[in-house]
Homo-oligomer: A and B are copies of this chain.
Amino acid sequence: MTREEIRTAIEGLGTLDPGIHDKDFLLTWQYQEKTIRFVLLAAQILEAFVRANIATRLFDAGLGLSIFRDKSTRTRYAFRAGCNLLGLMTEELDESTSQIAHGETVRETATMVGFLTEAIGIRDDMFLGEGHKYMMQVSAALCESHQAGVLPQRPAVINLQSDLDHPTQSLADLGHLISTFGGLDQLRGKKLAMTWAYSPSYGKPVSVPQGVVALMTRFGMDVVLAHPEGYDLVEEPLAAARRYAAESGGSLRIVGSMREAFEGADVVYPKSWAPAHIMRERTRLLRSGEQARLAALESEALATNATFKDWECNDALMAQTKGGRALYLHCLPADVTDVSCDSGEVSRSVFERARLDTYRQAGHKPFIIAAMILATRLREPAATLERCLESACQRRPA
C-alpha cells in the first residue's frame, strides 16, 4: 500500500466500531461482523506500516503475557511479535513455576499477572470442554479486579487456541484469502473444502476446522466440511456456521469424502483432527489418571485413523479442484508424505508447490494478534493509527 492507500484504509477503519473495548477476543462467533472486519482491516494496515517502515510502537510500556498449555512455535512467536510491534514487552507464564490450577487459584493468579498487563494470550486446546471455560474464568477474574479498582486497566484475554476456536488462525486464514482473491467481497460464492486428512499422530485439536467453518460461512462462502464417519466436531461452532451461511447466502454442507469436497473447490484445507468424542474421553481419562485406558484409547484411535490413509491431499485430488489449482491452506506444520512421515495429510509435490503460500498464510498472524489488541485496548484506534502515519517515525533506521 502507498501512504495514500494506508490513509484511506485508516479512514475506513474509523467507520468500524469494533465494540470490544475493555473486553476479550475469544470466539469469532461471539462478535458482530464489524468486529471481524475491524480486525481484518487493522491487521492489513499494520502490515502496510511495517512494509512502509513506519513505526507502530503505540504503547510506552506495558506487558503482553502468554500462557501456553500446549506446544507452540508459530502462535507463540506471533503473539510476541504482535505485542512487540505495538510496544508491549512479552513474558510467558511458566505454570510449572506458578500456582495456576483450578478454582480460586485461577482467579487469583489472573489478577497477580494483570497489574501492568494489556493482553493475556492463552493456548488451552487439549482438553475438550475445558479450554474455553478456563479463558472465561481468567476473563471474569480480570473484570472483577478491574471493576474493584485493583487493576489500573483491564487486560484483554486473547484466545491463542481453545477447545472451541482458534481465532488468530482462522482470521489469519481469512486475511490470506482476502489478499489472494482481492477482497472480502470476492469470497462470495467461492467453494472452500475444509476436510479431515490422515496423519500418523493422534489427538490433534478440533479448534482449527471449527474456527474455519464458523468464520468462512459468514462471508458468503460455500463451505464443505468432509470427514470420515465418526470424526465429528463440536456442535456449537457448527450451529454458528449454519446460521451464518443462511444469513450470508453461503452454505455449509457436510460430506463423507475428500474427493467430493475437493470437486470444483476454490480453496482446500486438508488437516487432521481427532474426533470430538475421543477428545472428550481423553480429557476424562487424563483427569482420572487412568493410564492403561488412555494407552488403549490411543492405540484404538491410531488404528481407526490408519483405515483412512487414503485421505491424503495429492495431485490426483487437486486435479479435481477449480481449474486444477485450488488454493491450498494449512495452519502448519503439515504432515507431509515422504518428508515428515511415510504417509500424511498431503503429498510432497502438492505441499512443495504450495509451501511459500502457506508461509504467507502464517505471516498474517502477528498482525491479526496486534489488531485484536488494538480492538480491545484502545478507544480510538483509527485516530491513533492516523497520528502514527503523520508522525512518520521509522521502524528500522536507515
Interface residues of A in 54-106 (CB under 8 A from B): 55-63, 68, 71-74, 76-78, 80-81, 84-87, 89-91, 93, 97-100, 103-105
Q: What string of 1s and 0s marks CB contacts (under 8 Å) between A98-142 and chain B?
A: 111001110011011101111000000000000000000000000
A324 within 8 Å of B by Cβ?
Answer: no
A359 within 8 Å of B by Cβ?
Answer: yes
A332 within 8 Å of B by Cβ?
Answer: yes
Query: Given A104-B339, A150-B356, A97 and B73 touching (CB < 8 A)?
Result: yes
Minimum distance in angstroms from A344 CB to a CB of chain B: 11
A152 within 8 Å of B by Cβ?
Answer: yes
A275 to B14: give the CA distance in the assembly, Å. 63
A151 to B318: give the CA distance in the assembly, Å. 27
Minimum distance in angstroms from A167 CB to a CB of chain B: 19
Residue of B nearest to A384 (CB): B397
Query: Given A57-B61, A73-B113, A152-B50, A378 and B398 touching (CB < 8 A)?
Result: yes
Q: What string of 1s and 0s marks CB contacts (under 8 Å) between A336-362 and chain B?
A: 100110000000000000011001101
Chain A residues bordering chain B, tally (CB within 8 A): 78
B112 touching A84, Cβ below 8 Å: no
B108 touching A333, Cβ below 8 Å: yes
A360 touching B116, Cβ below 8 Å: no
A148 within 8 Å of B by Cβ?
Answer: yes
Q: Which of B59, B339, B356 contacts A395 (CB 8 A)?
A: B59
B112 touching A73, Cβ below 8 Å: yes
Query: Given A89-B90, A97-B73, A398-B380, A150 and B63 touching (CB < 8 A)?
Result: no
Q: Which of B62, B113, B152, B336 contacts A77 (CB 8 A)?
A: B113
Which B residues lie within 8 Å of A332 (CB)? 108, 112
**Between-chain CB contacts (< 8 Å), 18 pairs:** A60-B393, A61-B87, A62-B84, A63-B81, A68-B97, A74-B112, A78-B115, A99-B333, A103-B339, A104-B336, A105-B340, A108-B332, A111-B362, A112-B359, A115-B362, A115-B366, A145-B356, A150-B360
State the 9 A-B residue pairs at the shortest beta-carbon distance, nearest first. A55-B60, A73-B98, A81-B116, A384-B397, A380-B398, A58-B397, A150-B359, A84-B89, A104-B339
